[in-house]
A and B are shown apart, each in its own frame.
Chain A
Amino acid sequence: MAAERLMRDVVVDAVYEAARRDRNVFFLSADLGAAALDRFRAELPAQFVHTGISEQHMIDLAAGLALSGKTVFCYAMASFLTARCYEQLKCALAAMRLPVTLIAVGVGCGYDDAGPTHYTLEDVACLRALAGIEILSPADAEATAGIARLALERPAFRALRLERPALPPVYGGRFAAALRTGLAEVAPGEDVCLVSSGYLLHRALAVRARLQAEGLAAGVVDLFRVKPIDVRALARVLERYRAVVTLEEQFLPGGVGSAVLEACADAGLLVPVRRLGLPERYPFENGGRDHLLQRAGLGLDDVAAAVRALAAPRAAVA
């Protein structure tokens, strides 16, 4: 498999191309770099703004630029771009409905071994609570490019939740078709549907492959836009399944599973939903991302068992 590009480089390059054509496009960084950013800084110094390690200032500054008609991208580690400046996101961006794009890098436990200060274990719940925000969590480079294009072509208050590592391709050229609804059934099934996004979408696909060998046909939905959810589109997919398992690298309150339950309730869809996520504690523990996920009950065996438990009886005994 060809090495996939890092999501951050994909987004930075897209913004760079736009910024070359339009000097009203600004890229703000709170001291986070990227390989692709070196060219941007060298060639477009007037449109690259180092804000200092000052996320609160960065968001207020972005608001002032956006109010002055600029197209603004704010770039920082996900943990600090979401929680550290939450009040600025609320008062400056959400309250004034300013079309600023947040590029949040390293969601979940993506900064392996860095610990809870650098993990985002509750950012979906926090961001989801902000009025009018759109939240996007791509699972591969193609989806990342599509989302970056959207952010440039239709500026809005958006959070791009980027994975720190490069992830294998999921879409094979089909992502554009999914952008309208914000979700895609990336692998069909008929019994239990796994709903996830980003890093864990790949785990859902791996679980599906394992269960397929057992004769259990699990489907996988990439809910890459967790807000707003196209309730009807999601219901149209989920109503074909007996049960749903949501899989997220977040604490459960207010997270992806909550969003799916809300959508099902709003659609009047009565389907069993099992939410899998992280236990509510900040893990000060070595071993890396996959080790933490394993410990949290999100290892392949555990997720597969959760799916089996919800599957039709014939599958459960297979």
Chain B
Amino acid sequence: MTLAERSRWLRRELFEMVVRTRRGHVPSSFSCAEILLALFYGGVLRYEPGRPDAPERDRLIVSKGHAAMALYPILADVGFLPPGALAGFTRPDGVLRMYADPSIPGIESVSGSLGHGLGIAAGFAFAARHDGAARRAFVLLGDAECSEGSVWESALWAAHHRLDNLVAIVDRNRCCILGDTEELMALGDVEAKWRSFGWDAVTVDGHDVDALLGAFARLGRTAGRPLAIVANTVKGKGISFMEGRPEWHNRMPNEAEVAQARRELGAGA
């Protein structure tokens, strides 16, 4: 599968998970689809297929926990999850939950409450350096998540400790639940904010896998600075009527909307 094909595959899988169970967050997951695909299939994240607990694996936390479900089809595909796990998403006997936690193979931390992932990932990175290990820590943050003050506590600390084995990807979809971040709690120049905190920072098109891979290639060349990648994205990317529409954060599509979404996602194609 090419990475472009994987983008369609991941969105279709996620959409069907949500439609089947009427649980989960489609738009938030879709905005970070290419980021996760670049990490897993673009040769960025170091992991061993079938071995979620390999000691020297890189650590990844999807700190915007409502989109942690976007990992599930990938974790199944790389052999971290038991067979049939996806069908059990949010089912009473299933192992996959709306928000992720370490009882799920391949999930490194509890997520769901915003603002924790960067600090925990900083702990991963600090421990790796202390151990003289090559492990890196990646954390995917929502842009609206960056309203949490704890994000900036951890950002200051990570830069002070020159954790150049730490990468924060900010999913800059410009949406919080009630609307446009810039109207409600403006983040402004996100890249400049991270830079001013002492990070190496770069802004890319978060749906362009090649651009993302180019940004990840800075890792190891940041002269003692942690790396922030501001990924400009569209919330709900791939389903026209959800794109950039905050009201779809928690909403479930009706029958006609499901049919239209499936057409747009190329289901059955």
Report which A residues bind B (CB closer than 8 A). Answer: 23, 46, 49, 51-52, 54, 56-57, 59-70, 87-88, 91-92, 95-96
- The SS class assigned to the A binding surface is helix
Task: Verify B126–A87 contact, CB threshold 8 A.
Answer: no
| Docked pose: A4 CA to B164 CA in angstroms | 45
Question: Are A57 and B130 CB-contacts (below 8 A) given A63-B120, A67-B109, A96-B110?
Answer: no
How many Å from the CB of B62 to the closest CB on chain A?
Answer: 14
- Please list the 9 inter-chain residue pairs (A to B) with the smallest Cβ-Cβ separation, ordered nearest first: A64-B123, A60-B119, A68-B127, A57-B153, A54-B153, A56-B150, A64-B120, A65-B123, A61-B123
9 pairs from A and B in contact (CB 8 Å cutoff): A57-B122, A61-B123, A62-B123, A64-B125, A64-B126, A67-B109, A67-B124, A87-B113, A96-B109
Report yes or no: A70 in contact with B127, Cβ–Cβ below 8 A: yes
**Does more than half of chain B's interface fall in helix, strand or loop, or is it mixed?**
helix
> How many residue pairs at the A-B interface have CB separations less than 8 Å?
94
A88: B residues at CB distance < 8 A: 116, 119, 150
Tell which of A57, A63, A66, A92 touches B157, judged by Cβ atoms closer than 8 Å.
A57
Residue of B nearest to A70 (CB): B127
Q: Count chain A CB atoms within 10 A of each CB in B115, B122, B157 and give the residue with the most.
A: B157
Report the separation of the CA atoms of residues A301 and B149 in the bound assembly, to the nearest whole angstrom.
47
Which residues of B114-164 have CB atoms within 8 Å of chain A's CB atoms?
Answer: 115-116, 118-128, 130-131, 137, 149-150, 153-154, 156-157, 160
Q: A46-B130, A91-B110, A96-B109 are in contact. Are A60 and B124 (CB under 8 A)?
A: no
Residues in B neighbouring A59, C-beta threshold 8 A: 119
Within 8 A of A (CB), among B74-121: 101-102, 108-110, 112-113, 115-116, 118-121
Asked whether, in the complex, the Cβ of B154 is within 8 Å of the Cβ of A65, the reply is no
A54/B120 in contact, CB under 8 A:
no
Known contacts A64-B122, A67-B108; decide if A56 and B157 are in contact (CB<8 Å): no
Tell me the complex Cα distance, A59–B150, Å.
10
